[in-house]
Chain A
Amino acid sequence: DGGITQSPKYLFRKEGQNVTLSCEQNLNHDAMYWYRQDPGQGLRLIYYSQIVNDFQKGDIAEGYSVSREKKESFPLTVTSAQKNPTAFYLCASSPDGYNEQFFGPGTRLTVL
């Protein structure tokens, strides 16, 4: 079955530690995205990538980093520089960056 997978579903980390969230898609989509969602809020774009080896900052990129070495994979690293990292992180992909985005199940990160 085609889709987007994110792992793990729940993640706990101590303050000051970097953590990497996984996002894999087998939909052969060119565009991939990372969003952050806080309780009762909409989605805020962290980073997006239109093609392998290229990515752009979104509205809240500070304290985060990404890589796009393979078409299928777009991992997000939450660094210790991110002031308030506890949130629900959603990865999405799109065939060509237009219109419909397909989302993974999300990773809920809690920093203690």
Chain B
Amino acid sequence: GQSLEQPSEVTAVEGAIVQINCTYQTSGFYGLSWYQQHDGGAPTFLSYNALDGLEETGRFSSFLSRSDSYGYLLLQELQMKDSASYFCAVRVADSNYQLIWGAGTKLIIKP
């Protein structure tokens, strides 16, 4: 089967750095995406990695290692508004137009 694993909850302090990990087991792999969802809201796209390495977009960075079937989202200079759930999602070769979603990581930020 296809599966994505990410921690259910992560707690960090405002201004700090936090890393949210995602490991995947899928048949075929095109790329790894990250989405943010605030409580009661809709997911919004953060980043996409198709190749190994680090992609940086402002305070957020995303990393992928295809050989390890592993990626992470790095959030720097945490702000209270970053409190949300973060989902990794994989586009796989045999699912044409579909994403396989992780269960999400709830990020709790303390002042």
Interface residues of A (CB under 8 A from B): 31, 40-45, 48, 50, 58, 90, 94, 97-106
Contacts and interface: CB of A to CB of B under 8 A. Distances in A.
B5 to A, nearest CB: 11
Interface of A is mostly: loop
B48 interface: yes
Interface stretch (B11-19, B64-72, B99-107): B99-107
Contacts of A48: 97-98
B33 A43 contact: no
Given A90-B42, A102-B45, A103-B42, A42 B103 contact: yes
A104 B48 contact: no
Nearest to B6: A42
25 contacts: A31-B97, A40-B103, A40-B104, A41-B103, A42-B101, A42-B102, A42-B103, A44-B101, A48-B98, A50-B97, A90-B43, A97-B97, A98-B30, A98-B97, A99-B31, A99-B33, A99-B48, A100-B33, A101-B99, A102-B45, A103-B43, A103-B44, A104-B42, A105-B41, A106-B41
